[in-house]
Chain A
Amino acid sequence: MIEARGVSHAYGQQPVLDDVDLVAPPGQVTGLIGPNGSGKTTLLRTLHAQLRPRAGTVLLDGSELGRLRPREVARRLAVVVQEPPSELPLVAADLVLLGRTPHRSGPGLGGMRARDEQVAANALQRVDAGHLAQRPVAELSGGERQRVLIARALAQEPDYLLLDEPTNHLDVRYQHELMTLVASLGVTVVVVLHDLNLAAAYCHHLVLLDGGRRVAAGDPAEVLEPAVLEAVYQVPVRRLELDGRLHLVLGRPRTRVIR
């Protein structure tokens, strides 16, 4: 169980999170949504101990995250963050194999054991990227790269997977492929998403943030209320149900400007 209790944070004098609670239901996909600057990414960073919140606590399986050693955290919790690709000509298999790091004690000499390579290979297969193993990471397309990064996270054999806007820069097909993959992993997922329709389609649970505060939390049907979303995003919102699934139409369908 990963849980945030009363988490607050500020960058300098600028508050970014204000007393936010979050519980990610086990085995489900929890989406963090909200406009730019609402604190989604900051909240995610407190969940993987990249950032120590100024107030409040984050609990991982009941123990305070700040008290766990980074390696213990990395054995249970994997993160896919958006970092500029390395200049080093590492191949995808090198990258995925690094996911075994938290499970390997002792020196890094001589590489990994056969089992580690097997786990890494399975992780690559799992994201349908086995054929990319010996390709340099820098030469991969955005979608391939994202899948390889998820494979690295899976190679950590985590109980929890945290993703920060994994669908960024992907075209529509890859966005859906990626979210289908994420939802099928069976691990507890917390994912920051911009696209509300992706959130509606793939998340079991949503947390809506605005100005660092939690505005709503619950299942998508509860959270994605047009009235709430209009107040948060400042655009008109219409909600449709097609084939039993929830869709949102956002933006300015009429000429009238809503203030």
Chain B
Amino acid sequence: MPPASVGPQRSSPGVAAPASRDPLGFASRRRRQWRWLLTLAALTLGVTVLGVCLGAVSVPPGTVLSVLLDRAAPALATQATAGDGASASERAIVADVRAPRVLLGLAVGAGLAVCGVALQAMVRNLLADPYLLGINSGASTGAAAAILFGVGAGLGQHALSGSAFVGALAASALVLAVARAGGRVTSVRLLMAGVAVGYALYAATSFLVFASDSAEGARSVMFWLLGSLSAARWGSPLLSVVVIVLLTVTLLALASRRLDALALGDETAHALGIDPTALRVRLLVVVSLCVGVVVAAAGSIGFVGLVVPHLARRLVGAAHRWVVPAAALLGACFLVAADLVARTLLAPQEIPIGIVTALVGAPFLLLLVRRLQPGA
């Protein structure tokens, strides 16, 4: 049977509005969005330089550049920086301590921020983040088990992140399974399940720490609770964090249209040809992997996944093709800046970075909550 015909545009090409160069008013918005992305990229670069230069001992940018160049490409650097005056301790501080630490900060911040973006779209709730859904607690439990009891020792140096990923995935799978019981996943069920699982795993982590009866374990509770970048060293664990975060950002950016649809509602997503449940499961695996690896490397740092997406949306709008890159840059920026504060505020003593992110994030969140529309 011939089709009844009729898509509006196909049936009426003659009366279609004249082609305009900016039919939806996107062009001016796009300029603004690009401007913001470039600004954020420049800001990230600036914060990165500051992060490497500043600290208990300040090193001038020129010296930093020559030291890093020297490390990265010795042959090239020897000519360019002949007569360079970096001392051995400056070299060590810049190349072995601060550079990996700043790199870890960039990766952790970007990773937590985009995971927040993904979760908020998934559960259609702007207050969602890895903590609220228990994914972080799962990662902590896995990582604590690996440290205290040698779980996953067969994985070698990836035991920690591997175990954290398994914990995060188990937590998110449990949350999803509980939320799914009896039919479709709804936002309310997902959030409630996340809170319940999060508390249970938080208790499990605490129990593991107490049961292990080790001073090392007791110290690490602080780490799991408030996070720290001080463990950053060059090596494959750092590399794996960077690679996984880059992969996560890329995957989420590629899924941006599906994230938009999912954020509008399951029926709407379905009506647009997307299977919301399958998409949610895939996103949860990606988010678990990213959160697991990040928590294993830097502990539990709060508020990044919650606050950064809000801020990113204010800058570039809600469409995920803009929010994902903006949140990644903003998160990277925010975390490196927070770490800078954490290690300079009471220098030479370091405070846990989670304190800084909470001090910045909590008032900001209160402001956002006040601005939420009634009933939202």
Contact = CB atoms under 8 A, between A and B. Distances in A.
Nearest to A75: B273
A108 B1 contact: no
B264 A101 contact: no
Nearest to B250: A109
Contacts of B17: 121-122, 125, 130
A26 B4 contact: yes
Nearest to B275: A70
Contacts of A84: 265
Contact of B272 (A72, A99, A154): A99
A118 interface: yes
A244 interface: no
A188 B26 contact: no
Nearest to B127: A87
A169 interface: no
A196 to B, nearest CB: 26
Identify which of A49, A101, A120, A138 gathers the most chain B CB atoms within 10 Å of its CB.
Answer: A101
Interface in B11-58: 11, 16-17, 19-20, 23-26, 29
Contact of A98 (B16, B24, B261): B261
Contact of B253 (A26, A72, A109, A186): A109
Interface string A76-103: 0011010110111111011111110110
B376 to A, nearest CB: 5
A124 B24 CA distance: 9
Contacts of B253: 109
Contacts of A205: none
B318 A185 contact: no
B124 A126 contact: no
B16 A122 contact: yes
Contacts of B260: 90, 94, 98, 108
Contacts of B318: 88-91, 94
B203 interface: no
A186 B9 CA distance: 11
B23 to A, nearest CB: 3
A50 B266 CA distance: 10
B313 interface: yes
A118 B16 CA distance: 9
Interface string A212-234: 00000000000000000000000
Given A122-B8, A187-B4, A89 B317 contact: yes
B125 interface: yes
B268 A91 contact: no
A210 interface: no
B195 interface: no
Given A83-B267, A186-B5, A188-B4, A89 B11 contact: no
Contact of A89 (B4, B255, B313, B320): B313
Contact of B321 (A69, A109, A125): A109
B326 to A, nearest CB: 14
A48 B266 CA distance: 13
Contact of B319 (A94, A124, A126, A158): A94
A60 B273 CA distance: 15
A35 B156 CA distance: 66
A134 B33 CA distance: 14
Contacts of B3: 26, 61, 159
Contacts of A93: 24-26
Contacts of B24: 93, 96-97, 117, 120-121, 124, 133-134
Contacts of A130: 17
Interface in B263-302: 263-265, 267-268, 270-275
B1 A109 contact: no
Interface in A106-122: 107-111, 117-122
Contact of A109 (B4, B7, B254): B254
A75 B317 CA distance: 27
A101 B267 contact: no
B271 A1 contact: no
Given A79-B271, A87-B126, A138-B373, A186 B6 contact: yes
Interface string B356-376: 000000000000000001001
27 contacts: A26-B3, A50-B267, A71-B274, A74-B272, A74-B273, A83-B265, A86-B264, A90-B260, A90-B317, A91-B317, A94-B317, A94-B319, A98-B272, A101-B258, A102-B272, A108-B321, A109-B254, A109-B321, A117-B24, A125-B17, A133-B24, A134-B25, A157-B8, A157-B9, A159-B6, A159-B7, A160-B4
Pick the 6 closest A-B CB pairs, nearest first: A26-B4, A108-B257, A121-B23, A74-B273, A157-B7, A71-B273
